[in-house]
Amino acid sequence: MLALTACSQAERNLYSESPETLAPLQPESPRPTTTTLTTSEAAPAPTTVAPATDGLPFYVAAEDLPGLSFVAEAIVPTVNVYSSDQLVEQTFEFANPNLSGTPLVFLVEDLNDLQAIKVLLPTRPNGSFGWINSDQVRLTQHNYSIQVRLDDFAITVTDHEETIFETTIGVARETTPTPLGRYYTTELLRPPESDTAYGPYAYGLSGYSDTFESFLGGPGQLGIHGTNEPWALGTNVSSGCVRLHNDDITYLVETLQLPLGVPVEII
């Protein structure tokens, strides 16, 4: 189960809600990414174009560059993470699938030589990164990004750096602030019933609460999800998570079909 930070009362996590208000979350099918690459099959350049795009180890068409992100999807049961691109000193290991039953993904920070890939890690402390062996993952790419502006009670989704969606959100109370930073979507979960504190869907993020170390054994993970209190949107109401109207979170999932590994900037 995903143990998101409490979004209604500071002393509880979402799983401490009564069964009438909160049902267990279940993994939702991963959304498709724009393109799938393997490190041995990175898109070749046409013979009339330079063999690699500036800053990348392979060719990417110019129209695909704005807002481009790469995602490393695990293809082995355990992914090892190292402290440098020499892949000598192991610092973390992550199980695939993760605890919620969702396929393990990392947001790529630097493709390097396509052997040792630098990635953002879904762990404490927030902003942790490391290097993984490309043999343990496959690469996908997309052009989406999410920005959460806490002071404006707003979330914006872009595609190829163009705004495609914006709406009002509920954010954390001053006593339980959402940590600012750069994260990514790690999982998409769906409660059996949509009238719970999560609403119809919940995206788990790679970041964690600075206020709560744990909730009933859960890690205090941040999330973006729906709500059963739409009247509270536009206010400081949660203990760290970002709340959307149920119609809005459904639009992100079912219409935009945002993939996992979308960068999320919280400012």
Q: What is the pTM of this model?
A: 0.86
| pLDDT, tens digit, 9 for 90 and up, residues 45-95 | 444 455 678 788 889 999 999 999 999 999 999 999 999 999 999 999 999
pLDDT at 8 (0 to 100): 37
pLDDT at 213 (0 to 100): 78
Q: In CATH, what is the architecture of 14-30+144-266?
A: Beta Barrel (2.40)
Q: Domain 35-41+63-142: state its class.
A: mainly beta
pLDDT at 34 (0 to 100): 59
Which parts of the chain have pLDDT scores under 70?
1-26, 29-51, 215-218
Going from the C-alpha of 33 to that of each of 23, 144, 186, 259, the distances in angstroms are: 29, 10, 14, 6
Domain map (residue ranges) of the chain? 14-30+144-266, 35-41+63-142
